[in-house]
């Protein structure tokens, strides 16, 4: 395609899309929120930081031929801003979002609509593994059991009173996750339904140890926005422009 593509990134799919576009000679700029101190940067031009809401993003779309929202499935505010900015400027918009996880035989999944609901669901457990990232941990601050928090960067308070922080960057193997679950005597795992293979090993490990998993459902997408489930689908959409 001709013209510049703006990719709202922060996911593996966003990085892989940028790699393919750069290889095809497409002018692409990837935008990262800047919440991770040392992110893995995609090829091509990169900008870091917010736009200043939907209005700021709309201004940034001047000269952009297509906008791809490849942010995290739970980046609901950014996704809403992308839809509003694209509508205001007439910029073609695609949502690139990997499918959610599907339970397998032996899984004990308990769904929650919000982080607050997830916190209520695990309030009676003595050892909780929180893998929801460092954003939103305040929802779990009143838990009285032992909590293991894993994130790339140190989380901000408030945190549960009996918290152990594990700083680590994935992907993790099933063996890695089994070791963590056993070492910390985890009784329940809390995760967001992020989907994809990069963070699925904890679900396999929980299944092997017969541990329950509380999964937070994804927020709904803005209506009328086309969705691609894979990078290949996103490339086909862009080429059709």
pLDDT at residue 37 tops 70: no
Which residues 6+ apart lie within 8 Å of 9 measured at CB? Answer: 15, 18, 30, 31, 32, 42, 70, 71
- List, for residues 187-201, the tens digit of each pLDDT value: 999 999 999 888 899
Please indicate, yes or no, if residue 174 is contained in any of the structural domains.
yes
Task: Measure the CA–CA gap between 88 and 58, rounded to whole angstroms.
Answer: 7
Same domain for 72 and 132, yes or no, is no
Same domain for 205 and 224, yes or no, is no
Same domain for 121 and 31, yes or no, is no
Which residues 6+ apart lie within 8 Å of 135 measured at CB? Answer: 35
Same domain for 208 and 113, yes or no, is yes
Same domain for 85 and 121, yes or no, is no
Strand partners, 130: 149, 190
What integer pLDDT is reported at residue 170 of this predicted model?
A: 84
Instruction: Look at residue 115 and give its three-state secondary structure.
Output: helix
Task: Measure the CA–CA gap between 143 and 58, rounded to whole angstroms.
Answer: 41
Task: Measure the CA–CA gap between 79 and 84, rounded to whole angstroms.
Answer: 9
Same domain for 60 and 9, yes or no, is yes
Same domain for 35 and 126, yes or no, is no
Same domain for 200 and 224, yes or no, is no
- List, for residues 3-17, the tens digit of each pLDDT value: 899 999 989 999 999
What integer pLDDT is reported at residue 36 of this predicted model?
A: 65
Same domain for 81 and 129, yes or no, is no
What integer pLDDT is reported at residue 198 of this predicted model?
A: 85
User: If you compute the radius of gyration of the chain from its CA atoms, what whole number of angstroms results?
Assistant: 19
Same domain for 157 and 228, yes or no, is no
Q: What is the CATH number of the domain that holds 56?
A: 3.40.50.720
* Containing structural domain, residue 208: 109-216
State the average pLDDT over residues 148-171.
Answer: 92
Strand partners, 227: 95
pLDDT at residue 2 tops 80: no
Instruction: Look at residue 42 and give its three-state secondary structure.
Output: coil
Mean pLDDT estimate for the chain: 95
* DSSP symbols for 180-219: HHHHTT--EEEEE---SSTTTHHHHHHHHTT--EEEEPPP
Please indicate, yes or no, if residue 165 is contained in any of the structural domains.
yes
- List, for residues 64-98, the tens digit of each pLDDT value: 999 999 999 999 999 999 999 999 999 999 999 99
Residue 35: name the closest of 119, 147, 151, 116 by CA.
151
Which residues 6+ apart lie within 8 Å of 88 measured at CB? Answer: 54, 58
What integer pLDDT is reported at residue 1 of this predicted model?
A: 61
Q: What is the CATH number of the domain that holds 178?
A: 3.40.50
Please indicate, yes or no, if residue 161 is contained in any of the structural domains.
yes
Q: How many CB atoms lie within 10 A of CB 99?
A: 12
- List, for residues 93-145, the tens digit of each pLDDT value: 999 999 999 999 999 999 999 999 999 999 999 999 999 988 889 999 999 99
pTM for the full model? 0.89
Please indicate, yes or no, if residue 104 is contained in any of the structural domains.
no
For residue 19, the surrounding DSSP H or E stretch is: helix 12-23
Same domain for 124 and 209, yes or no, is yes
- List, for residues 192-233, the tens digit of each pLDDT value: 999 988 889 999 999 999 999 999 999 999 999 999 999 999
- List, for residues 38-74, the tens digit of each pLDDT value: 777 899 999 999 999 999 999 999 999 999 999 999 9
């Amino acid at each position: 395609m001709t013209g510049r593509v703006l990719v709202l990134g922060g996911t593996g799919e966003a990085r892989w899309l940028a790699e393919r576009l750069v290889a095809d000679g497409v002018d692409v700029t990837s935008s990262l929120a800047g919440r991770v101190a040392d992110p893995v940067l995609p090829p091509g031009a990169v900008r870091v930081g917010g736009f200043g809401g939907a209005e700021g993003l709309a201004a940034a779309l001047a000269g952009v031929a297509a906008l791809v929202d490849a942010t995290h499935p739970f980046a609901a505010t950014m996704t809403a801003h992308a839809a509003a900015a694209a509508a205001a400027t007439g910029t073609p918009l695609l949502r690139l979002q990997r499918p959610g996880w599907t339970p397998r035989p032996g899984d004990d999944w308990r769904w929650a609509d919000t982080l607050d609901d997830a916190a209520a669901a695990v309030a009676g457990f003595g050892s909780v593994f929180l893998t929801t990232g460092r954003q939103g941990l305040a929802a779990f601050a009143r838990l009285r059991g032992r909590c293991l928090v894993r994130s790339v960067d140190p989380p901000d308070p408030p945190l549960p009173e009996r918290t152990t922080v594990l700083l680590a960057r994935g992907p993790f193997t099933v063996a890695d996750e089994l070791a963590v679950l056993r070492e910390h005597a985890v009784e329940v795992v809390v995760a967001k339904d992020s989907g994809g293979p990069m963070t699925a090993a904890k679900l396999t490990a929980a299944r092997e140890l017969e541990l329950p998993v509380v999964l937070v459902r994804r927020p709904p997408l803005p209506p009328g926005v086309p969705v691609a489930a894979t990078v290949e689908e996103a490339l086909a959409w862009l080429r059709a422009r």
